[in-house]
Chains A and B, each alone.
Chain A
Amino acid sequence: MTLLPRPLLARASLRYLLGHPWQLGLALLGVALGVAVVVAVDLANQSASRGFSLSAEALTGRATHQVVAGPEGLPEEWYVRLRTEAGIRPSAPVVEGFVRLPGHGDRTLRILGVDVFAEAGVRPALGAVSATVEPADLLARPRGAVLLASDLERLGRAVGDTLTVRHGGRDHALRIVAGLRPERELEAVGLRDVAIMDIAAAQELLGRVGRLDRVDLVADAATADRVADRIPDGARLVVADRRAETLEQMTDAFRLNLQAFSLLALVVGAFLIYNTMTFSVVQRRRLMGLLRATGTTRGELLGVVLGEAVVIGVLGTAAGVALGVALATVLVDLVTRTINDLYFVLAVRELTLTPGSLLRGAALGIGMTVVAALAPAREATTVPPRAALSRSVLERAHRRWLPGLVLAGVALLAAGGLLLVASERSLVVPFAGLFGVILGGALLVPPGLWLVTRGLAPVLGAAAGFTGRMTARGVAASLSRTGVAASALAVAVSAVIGVGVMVDSFRTTFAEWLDATLHADVYVSVAGGGPMDAEQRRRLLAVSGVATATRSRFVRVGAGDHEARLRVFAVPPAAEDGFSFRTGNPETAWRAYRQDGAVFVTEPYAWHQELEVGDRVTLNTGSGTATFPVAAVVYDYGTSEGAIIMARRTYTRYWDDNAVDSLGIRAADGVDPERLQERLRQAAAAGGQQLAFRADHEIRARSLAVFDRTFTITEVLRLLAILVAVTGVLSALLALALERAREYAVLRAGGMTARELGGLVTAQNALVGLLSGLFAVPLGLALAGGLIGVINRRSFGWSMDLAVDPWILLQAVALSVAAAVAAGIYPAWRLARTEPALALREE
């Protein structure tokens, strides 16, 4: 049996495709949109990932190990001893920090303070700076900085100009001494938004005179061991690659979520292909019977249909890949922004066209098309020679499948549900479970549609006569068409509901958490970041009307195999209500926190590190390694990485660090917070350090704005899935209208006006839309439950309450009806315009 169609068969098949441009166009659009979403998300993810690794590699250079300092920094003398006494070279000291660029929006610049002479052995690209720049220029005042020439262009600066940066509440002028034009992509991309300075100048700018943030080493195992023996308290030795890897792994879950979403668009696209191919087979049954009668084998017919699928798959995929690349340029920006909001600073400005992404998209597109066409292709081979089966016989055959669909649907739902809860920490398994639930739900839609419309026929008949009965029965009678359309629509709408409810629940939980956490009236931090001057602090606390102030310090410390965010708070007893406990008894927890050196951990941190109340965390403190009992797990939606929360008293006992990054000030009873803020501003104006003042409601609004920004990409993907579904529904309804042209022509011959017929067709489409929307509600809620209860928890460590806003459900159902009605406008218009005589003549 050969699957290759004979040339004349192929020609007939091609002419059929070309003779039905609408059908062909919609099928191509379906494949193209599905593939485009998958390719775009993949490319955006890959680009972000590549941007990260290039930046990490450029900044790490050849270093094999890094000695990373704690909050107190590494003493400079330690590095000198390491180099001179222990003779450990190549080694290079680094002082690193972020500054703001006033006048350039919210942009940040990474300050990389290095010793250019020490760089040659570790980061040759930076070592080469010493060849073009006089070290004295870097140290002259204003302090010199070297940036990429491309960054200078974007900032509108040239060599010799000054650039103002803000850090620690002060503006600093930097003189640009050179613009780098690296030959290798690694440095050209990796050193973006980086200002290279001399280490002494960077220490001064970042307020770390005499201290280093890390020392990068090129060392073998034995040398590394020697270094390890000399590590000062609070610092730790890490393998350079692994540090970057750990950082990047944090974004894995986020990227996997995006990928799963993009696959959903492809699944909806597959429905479309199935529908198109089935329709093309049904439409040609007579022809196929004729071909069989003239000696065409089953294999050849199978080949014809699969060949058509391959043509559609290849063309659609090619268009999809091109569209995907275009879409990815938008998505890469959204992905980068989300990574910046949730994880770390990352600058990705261009798309990396990885052949892997393009090939994966192409294989998925063509593969999915062929798989979706298998069933209709098989159907084609079952056409008996000289068959002239009526539509009703076909539909009856289709209906015989309904019990099987119910069984398969229920089985998939059950399997999906099991997978959702089966594993402990995996993310792939519950995603597979969610897909099982979606597919199971989709399989149940046609039987559901059949049952409901049959039940509805008498009701609609009583209400609207034979048009009502025809509306309901027409949907049931053409189940092979309407069923697929309704399934595709229900899947897309359930995604709308699932994601909508998830985001809304998350937003509600987040807003409630903000309300509980933002217990102060005015928050004061240092403009451009960095610690607050002690003098400024005293001025602020002396202002009349200040009742209490929570002093906060945010640092990163070594915690075993990773680096943890440590938030240090001196919490006045009155501000304790700013923490909401997930586990742990508040009373004993607060006592342990204040008196016994216990810490709280945030929910995501507890999840990622598998911690519970009573466990201990081990930290590299300024006075050696120490362990701290976990007294409570608290809710926190600020970062997905999570954090450890420690009392200031405990912190200062272990670290020689009295700095304060921000103050949360509560106004005394009867004091107007706005007035207080004004007085605080006046008091701060006397000092040289610029401070940022924000009322609790401003922080709340800003945080929610960031939240919404984070979910923009989800919204975009959701819209794309809907677009694919609407295309699918349009294609199905168009097919249906073409098929029933004769039946409608009889109605017109019997005296039904064009408008009445348009109304009938629209009512039928609206019914399909309404029922699809209603079926999507339980499916969407199940999806939301899975996303909230399992996927989000495992991806980010956040727990949240399922909050179902009926408005979201109503909107989704309305969307479903609108999509179906909109998709039916053209078919209805076309039908209404067709002369009944013409339609009746086309037998």
Chain B
Amino acid sequence: MYPVAIKEPGLKGTIEHFFKRTYKEIHAVQDVSFEIQPGEIVGFLGANGAGKTTTLKMLTGLIHPSAGSVTVAGHIPFRRESAFLRKITLVMGQKQQLIWDLPAMDSLQINAAVYGLSDRAAQARIDELADMLSLQGKLTQPVRKLSLGERMKAELLAALLHEPQVLFLDEPTLGLDVNAQVAVREFLREYNQRFNATILLTSHYMADITALCDRVLMIHQGKLIYDGSLDGLIEQFAPCREVHVELAYAYHKAKLQQYGDVQSIDGSSVRYLVKPELLTKTVSQLLADLEVVDLAVSDPPIEEIIGRVFQVGQVH
């Protein structure tokens, strides 16, 4: 729970704000309970501001929960004991910890010293991870000269140098191109298998979640609304199928809406989301009333399902 100052837009609002501030208490997260087994990869879903990052910060001990208890790897995170800190790591896609103007190697040496690794152990570890991340030769270049993808991989290397058992990853693929996303994803999968590390990750890219996570937690407005397999989530929402119709010409929107939940209209191309029990009826009505050139039925893309969960706020 934390206070946030509220400001009206415009100059008038600014001046009022200057003299008199209105605060609003905000509960970042409430009633979030879950347990994660060692070696699991768990995806953390939620719209922006749903409380994902807050939860991650509570798990790493940066934030003290105002109520309730948190245990990670047998420690209470907020005490930030040395033994605990050596077991965990936090990676944030939008924040850097490598020193920008120096080669990544220099930052790695600092981390090695801070975590008390011997030179030999550190070198072996760096070689191993650089090999897994195909970063050989990149670590001696200044960080600013690296591509975005290489930089993220170097960040991962720095964060994993001390062989943490629990990885907290906040948007690790943010802003990366598709190839780099795939590379990071594959690395995480391999790392998880090789070291039996536990991974908790948040991502805006559903591809990250589908590729990596057997289990997902969904948070909405600070509340945990779903905990289970990804397939289960889709199944519970699958009651929707997507009907894609190519029409001979563009119809009026009001007319099209008579047949069901219009997802999008693009000229003469229309997409509906339809519940399975209504599927036959809707399709036959469409075919009867409108001049249909082509019609296809499919599962809607996973982003849309998730988007609908966020809109509705609960899983049926």
A is bound by B: no
Q: CB within 8 Å of B: which residues of A?
A: none
